[in-house]
Chains A and B, each alone.
Chain A
Amino acid sequence: MDSIVLIKQVPDTTEVQLDPKTGNLIREGLKSIINPDDAHALEAALTLKDRFGGKVTALSMGPMQAIDVITEALGMGADAGVLLTDRAFAGADTWATSFTLARAIQQVGSWDLVFCGRQAIDGDTAQIGPQVADWLGIPQAAYVFAIESVNPKHITVKRRLEDGYERLQCRLPALITVIGEMNTPRFPRVDRLLAGCREKAPIRVFNAADIGVKTREVGLEGSLTHVIKTFAPKFKREGKILEGGKESVVRELIQRLKASEGATACRAFASACEL
């Protein structure tokens, strides 16, 4: 059972801070990590490999620093890594990202399963997995929390729904997106990490030409959507401490709530208090 695992390097925070002037992500002082869901995806692939044998390849698209998530994947037990890096890939939306990843997957060789995380903690769209499956023309199961069985032709999984779960059987090859509930990722071994830092490490680095895509098909140029502006929503809060006796304070509070602009709930609350 050969697998490809898509792993994204993300900043180690769920509270992404934007530079108020440029709208760019503030990366200073943030460590980069494997996107948490992707570590679970990798663990799922490695567990299958432990049971049935086969080869696990970790694939990431990103700047050169994203090599660290590839090395970490080798540290956890992946057999090989592929880093897709090229200036032309920059600024990709999910359409261009999934297209690039799908083309790279086709270059990697034979595989039975593609594992993705459900969602990246920075981009947060949860679109990449399903889109990659579509480009590859293979079945997909998203939000998977358990693999029930695998045989050379099929995989049966359980996927989380809002109010329960669904058992699903897919033909192979297939793509699965994994949620954190599925497993506990193993820690990397230091000997494997060190081997992954050596020149001879089984890591391939591909650019646009290597995967046979034109620069206008990828990155910002290949994107169907363009981000015009990024901003952090402002929550203005003004504190005011009312002073005086209990009764007068409560009365004033209700008056103020009633007068508050646009806050229907506040006004309703105030009216209810008056009753």
Chain B
Amino acid sequence: MIRSNPEHLIRDSMARFVDKEVIPQAQQIDASGEFPMELFRKVGEMGVFGIRYPRNKGGSGGNTTLYCIIHEELARGLMSLAAVSAMQCLMGTNFLFHFGTQEMHENFFLPAMKGEKIPCFCLTEPEAGSDLGAVTTLAQRTKDGFVINGMKTWVTNGPIADFYTVLCQTDPAKKLRGLNFFFVPRETPGVSVSQPFETLGTRTTRMSEVAFTNVHIPFEFMLGREGEGVSNLMSILSEIRAMTAALAIGLLRASMADAIQYAKERMAFGRPIGRYQLIQAKIANMATELEAARLLTYRATKMIDDKTPCLKEATMAKYFATEAACKAADEATRIFGAYGYSMEYTVQRYYRDSRFLLYGGGTHEVLQTNIARWAGL
């Protein structure tokens, strides 16, 4: 049986899309600060948002490896587009897909697969970041449903979203076991959204606070069985970390490619700067760390696809790939000399956008703490 290899085919296809449609406008989109709705819709038309979901339920029938390949390529073009697309595929829709009603599936999940509705994921609160046990947004049980009160922050897509997946406490005495996810459509009375934050990187992605004041929702808007919120979150944690690692690989590749090109062209002391060993060392480190990041990341995605637990592997991948991407973007700005400091060139964007990767899916201090524990400390 002669058939194509889906991983190669989808990587090549996304790479062509990124080279033709994303890279030529990436600088201008970033400078404008506007959410690239048109590009986002195009990504939706290509069936990307359904990549993790089965075909018979409105998805595209892929897996985590393909999900990560696609988002690695998108991140090579424009991190803010990749980040929003990644959220659309995973955190924004996962619990709705698994635990939502048929009506939610039709009115929210399927439109989200086409990019016609935008989701977001609300965990973080002003007083609860790494420590989710400190979440205080309360979902109080009433006779006909729940009433939500509280404040979420750093909500990616907050200002433009059509619906939210919100982590709430239903019984503060139970601490982590009292945490549950809820589905909240944007139009529900009592939902309000702040102005978007001014941020260092991913400048076209909108982050904001979302406040919930006496928001009434029916019982079926609780996503998952009561008491299983944290374990449901854990079920996608490896995937969130592997995906962030893939975004980092994309950014690392972009930094390295632009740095190599510049090092070949820029002359100093009569030769291209790429002929100097100190510049070569920077590129050599980028190339080596890129390979290592790939091996860590795609080992983790294969394990996820094989349903083998791999939180350790995915955590190491996210930690290593992100640090490598931050370093590569930093070194690229140095190779560019003063032009690395100019808003006209790409590398300043990579440098700013690399910082975006540090926090989601766990800060590196938290990840290192986990890794040290798994190592036996």
Contacts and interface: CB of A to CB of B under 8 A. Distances in A.
Interface of A: 31, 64, 67-68, 70-72, 75, 83, 85, 187-199, 201, 203, 205
A75 B8 CA distance: 14
B6 A194 contact: yes
A68 B5 CA distance: 8
A187 B17 contact: yes
Contact of B62 (A70, A85, A190): A190
Given A187-B42, A190-B51, A203-B2, 10 more contacts: A31-B12, A67-B2, A71-B3, A72-B13, A188-B46, A189-B45, A193-B9, A194-B10, A194-B62, A196-B4
Given A188-B46, A194-B61, A199 B1 contact: yes
A241 to B, nearest CB: 16
A58 to B, nearest CB: 13
A68 B55 contact: no
A203 B3 CA distance: 9
Nearest to A32: B12
B3 A190 contact: no
B66 interface: yes
Interface residues of B, number: 28
A191 B60 contact: yes
Contacts of B8: 68
Contacts of B59: 191
Contact of B9 (A71, A198, A205): A71
Interface in B27-83: 42, 45-48, 50-51, 55, 59-62, 66, 70
A197 B46 contact: no
Contacts of A68: 4, 8-9
Contact of B60 (A71, A194, A203): A194
A70 B16 CA distance: 17
24 contacts: A67-B4, A68-B9, A83-B2, A85-B2, A187-B13, A187-B16, A187-B21, A187-B42, A187-B46, A190-B13, A190-B48, A190-B62, A191-B55, A193-B4, A193-B10, A193-B13, A194-B66, A195-B55, A196-B3, A197-B3, A197-B5, A198-B3, A199-B1, A203-B3
Contacts of B10: 190, 193-194
Interface in B246-302: none
Nearest to A75: B13
A199 B1 CA distance: 7
Contacts of B62: 190-191, 194
A64 B70 CA distance: 25
Nearest to B70: A190
